[in-house]
Each structure stands twice: as structure tokens, then as C-alpha cells.
Amino acid sequence: MSLRRRTLKSVHDFAEVFSKKFSENGQIPAKYGSYLISTASFVGTQMSSSKGRDKICSLIQYLAQFYFECHNHSSIPEVRELIKQKKISSYRIAVNIESSMSSGRKIFRFLKFMDEIAEVSKVAKLKKKLSRKILMMIGHLASAVYFFLDNTVWFASVGFFKDFFTDPMISYLKYRKDLFSFVRLITNLCLSIIRRKNTISKARKYKEVIDDLPERSVRGDDSTCELIRRYIRARRKLRFRNLDVLHDCLRIVMLYRSLKFRGHEIIHPTFVAFCGIVSSGISIFKAAIEKERFIKVEPSPTKCSKEPNSAFTLSLIHI
């Protein structure tokens, strides 16, 4: 059996052969390339800000924590014995990743308490109900104290003022830090529930008005089109309000065990790590798709577009 060999005289010949073979055997769908580009763009955008990096590092941290907590509380005696003998390398790697991510994320919160103090003055100028403004101010003040204590604990952990920051004092500061974080999450949960309730009432109001309208064609400049658009916005916003409530509840459960409140023993460490994974995933998910997309009715670019009964097309826009 003789082998057939083809000699390529130039790079141009190689390009032609490759292009022909590629078209014969199929080509990569454009949607996969678009998805890859959009994903890389999102990750790059998130990594360009300290808040985005903190979210991604948080997800990695809780994934590592979930991995080694599953090993710590494994029902298989052989696994627990191997952990005691330090023979599971992946377990040690997960512990190191969790520890390094936990300490590394603190730099992203450096001097962040100053932003929360500035937010307090902004809230005071808002034209909202007094009860809601009080909740918002309490949340920002608790966040300011939390970030300040978090920076203080970080300074103590790296060795600043060793004579002053003893181990009992560092433990005390960590507990107070978590306590103010708990207060912040409680106020955020109350605000999320209030926003969710307001969004539900708006969506119901728009739905009732739309149901009472007669059936007819809707034009792009029609008030009905604007009403439908507002209803879509309210429904979409409601989904994110539900995610906010879920996120705050998960973080409260995590801190409840960390603060060792009454009954914290029933919360399993593996479940705490799982709550961290879900809450971090929600934050990343919201950052990825929370940019609003709506349907807009625009005139179709046809010859009859100047006529009163011209066709209209639906296009997706970002607002």
C-alpha cells in the first residue's frame, strides 16, 4: 500500500488546503465563539475592579472550603484516617487555597469603610420614607464599622503593633467584625424584602391595566407599548429582588454559625460552605446579566416605512 503525499509549495497553498478541509468537515458554530468572547469579556471586566475580583476569589474560596469540609466530615473511616496521616495532597491544597483566598480578599476591602461613610451622607439627601432611610443609614454605618474592623484585623494579622494586638484582642475584634456584618445583612434583608414588595405591587398594577386594554395592534409610539415595557422591567427586576433575598438569607445563615448563636450546632460546616458557593454564584450571576435588556419596537427599514401602517420589527436594546 503506497502512501499518497502532497507537497505544499507555499504558505498560501497550505492556507487553501486548510480552508477547504475545514469547510468540508464542518465549522465551529458562531454562537460558541460569541459565547467564549462574551465570557472572556465578562471575566476581564470583573477582574479589572476590586469588587469583581473579590466575588471571583470568594467563589474559589468557598469551593475549596466545601471540598475539605466534605473530607473532614466524611463517613468513610479510611478517608478520615488518611487526613490524619496527611496523605491526601488535594486536601492540603484545598486548605491552603481557602486560607490564602480568605487573607488575600482582605486587601480588596482596604479603606472601603470610607465609601460607606460617604454613602450615609447621600442617603440623608434621598427623598424616601423615613423608615427606609433609617434602615439604609444603619446598614451603611454597620458596613463602615465592619470594613474598619476588617482592615484592623488584617493589619494585626500581618504583624503591625504586635505588643498591642494580642491573640485575645484579635479574636475579640473578629467577633465584633462578624457581629456588625450580621447587623448589616439584617438591614439589607429588610430592604430587599421592602423592594421586592414594591416591585410586586408595581408589576400587579401594570398587569391589571394591560388586562383591561382591548385587543388591538400595538405601535412603537403607542402608550400601550410603553406600559408593556414597564411591566417587563418590573417582572425582570422582581427576579433579581428574589435573588437578593436569597443571597442575604444565605449570608445570615453563614454568620449565624460563625457567631455561635444559640442553636448554631445544627448548621453543618459543609452546609455553610455550600451557602458560600451559592451566595458567591448569585453575586457573579447578577453581575453577569443584571444589565437590563428590553424589547423595543422600531420601524422596519422597508420602502413602506413612511406609510402610517408600516411594519415594525422587534430589537433587543440595553438600557
Torsion angle of the four alpha carbons 98, 102, 107, 110, in this order, in degrees rounded to the nearest 10 = 160
Per-residue pLDDT band at 75 (split at 50, 70, 90): confident
**What letter does residue 214 receive in the DSSP assignment?**
P
pLDDT above 70 (res 85): yes
3-state helix, strand, coil in the chain (%, to 5): 75, 5, 20
Residue 203 to residue 13: CA distance in whole angstroms: 62
pLDDT above 70 (res 287): yes
Mean pLDDT across 93-104: 89
Residue 166 to residue 159: CA distance in whole angstroms: 10
Nearest by Cα to 68 from 55, 86, 47, 51: 86
pLDDT above 90 (res 300): no
pLDDT above 60 (res 129): yes
* pLDDT for the residue numbered 302: 45
Nearest by Cα to 317 from 251, 222, 210, 229: 229
Provide the 3-class DSSP secondary structure of residue 294: strand
Residue 245 to residue 157: CA distance in whole angstroms: 33
* pLDDT for the residue numbered 23: 57
Percent of the chain with pLDDT strictly greater than 70: 73
Global confidence as pTM: 0.74
* pLDDT for the residue numbered 39: 62
Mean pLDDT across 108-112: 85
Residue 265 to residue 258: CA distance in whole angstroms: 10
* pLDDT for the residue numbered 171: 87
* pLDDT for the residue numbered 124: 84
Residue count of the chain: 319
